[in-house]
Homo-oligomer: A and B are copies of this chain.
Amino acid sequence: MSMDERKKRILQAIIDDYIDTAEPIGSRTIARKHELGLSSATIRNEMADLEEMGYLAQPHTSAGRVPSDKGYRLYVDQLMQVYDLQDDEIEKIKTAMELHINELSQLIRQASAVLSRFTKYTSVAVASQMKTSTVKAVQLVPIEADKAMVIVVTNAGIVKNNIVKTADQLRPEALVMISNALNDKLGGLSVEKANRKISSGLVSELEMELGIRGELFASILSCLAGCINQIDNTEVYVEGTTNVLNHPEFRDIIKAKEFMSMLDEKTSIGRIVFDASDSEGGIIIRIGSENDLSDIKDCSLVTTNYNIANTFIGTIGLIGPTRMEYPKVVSSIGYIRKFMNREIGRFLGLDIDNDL
């Protein structure tokens, strides 16, 4: 039995309908609603074939068919029709993203929120893998006689700061000296290297060069190390969790609860999304059991990476029932991705100008 063109068209029709209605689809429905020029009986036979081939499943005898994960896979790979965002939809996204962005994380969160509101699914954004980031600037700011703020800026525009208690004897001028020395030593290093450098004798190195007693600024260095470690922390933003309640597959409150608890585990969902992301600019679709975690074996994940120039910054995606509106989801994510890349570039001052 082979997968001929007719079977594909029937499968497509079934999946389209099922995505729409969430009800098992019967042969008559297809015969009526789609102009395939076939009777319900013929379609019935084809459907039996498709089931045997594993593309469809039957909840019970004498119900209609529902797509299997394998069916969805064929659908997203070959059958579904590209959905072009309408002008007004693009406008809607654009205005929703219109916001005074002050921090990179704000942009990411905003994008995540817009995506989930627009698609009515749950969005997950991971700002991760800052391991590739490099330290751009280190600065010490005196705040009070015995307190200073340590600030680290990375090339990706991430800013971390921390207040540290300093020795009373440290005068502001000394702070400036230390600050400059730190910039010299750490500027341009990757986060990992900077960390290693701090923990391997930077104190005594500076002690010699600056002529300041090490114990006076040791606390500053350990605080700095803390900041740098924070950079490496992957942040996970989940938006629109309540959207799942709109989908009939989560009508059962226990299912809904499971789903939401799973999303509350930010780190694990972050890992899943991150692991799902792949290579460069593509949009990755993971359907049901294709996902590693069994918790989401009834869900699909559509993700993409956002980045700047060639630096990978993070992943953003949507999660929903396997019965997802793939065409719309894919184009939405594609658009948001482009939008984010442009905004991030703009935010960091790289004037990349591509039209949207």
- A278 within 8 Å of B by Cβ? no
A284, B191: Cα distance in complex, Å: 46
Interface presence of A272 (CB below 8 A): no
Task: Tell me if A162 and B102 are in contact (CB < 8 A).
Answer: yes
A242 in the interface (beta carbon within 8 A): yes
How far apart are A138's CB and chain B's nearest CB, in angstroms? 9
C-alpha gap A251/B257 in the complex (Å): 11
Q: Does A139 contact B (CB under 8 A)?
A: yes
Given contacts A102-B162, A256-B253, A257-B242, contact A136 B143 (CB under 8 A): yes
Bound-state Cα–Cα, A161 to B137, Å: 14
Give the A interface residue count (CB, 8 A): 37
Residues of B within 8 A of A227 (CB): 102
- Report whether B139 and A141 are in contact in the complex, using a CB–CB cutoff of 8 Å: yes
A→B interface (CB under 8 Å): 100, 102, 136-137, 139, 141-144, 146-147, 149, 151, 153, 157, 159-163, 165, 226-227, 230, 241-242, 245-246, 251, 253, 256-257, 260-261, 264, 347, 349
In the complex, how many angstroms separate the beta carbon of A249 from the nearest chain B beta carbon? 12
- Give the residue of B147, B165, B226 whose beta carbon is less than 8 angstroms from that of A102: B226
Contact indicator B159/A161 (Cβ below 8 Å): yes
When A100-B226, A163-B157, A251-B253 are in contact, do A141 and B151 touch as well, CB less than 8 Å?
yes
Total identical chains: 2
Q: A241-B241, A242-B261 are known contacts; what are 15 more A-B pairs with Cβ within 8 Å?
A: A102-B162, A102-B226, A136-B144, A137-B149, A139-B141, A139-B149, A141-B153, A143-B153, A159-B161, A165-B349, A245-B256, A245-B257, A246-B257, A253-B256, A256-B256
Instruction: Kindly report which residue of chain B lies nearest to residue A137, judged by CB atoms.
Output: B143
Bound together, the chains give a CA A264 to CA B227 distance in angstroms of 31
| Minimum distance in angstroms from A344 CB to a CB of chain B | 13
A260 in complex: contacting residue of B149, B157, B230, B242, CB < 8 Å = B242
Q: What 7 A-B pairs have minimum CB-CB distances, sorted nearest first? A: A242-B260, A245-B257, A139-B141, A137-B143, A102-B162, A159-B161, A143-B153
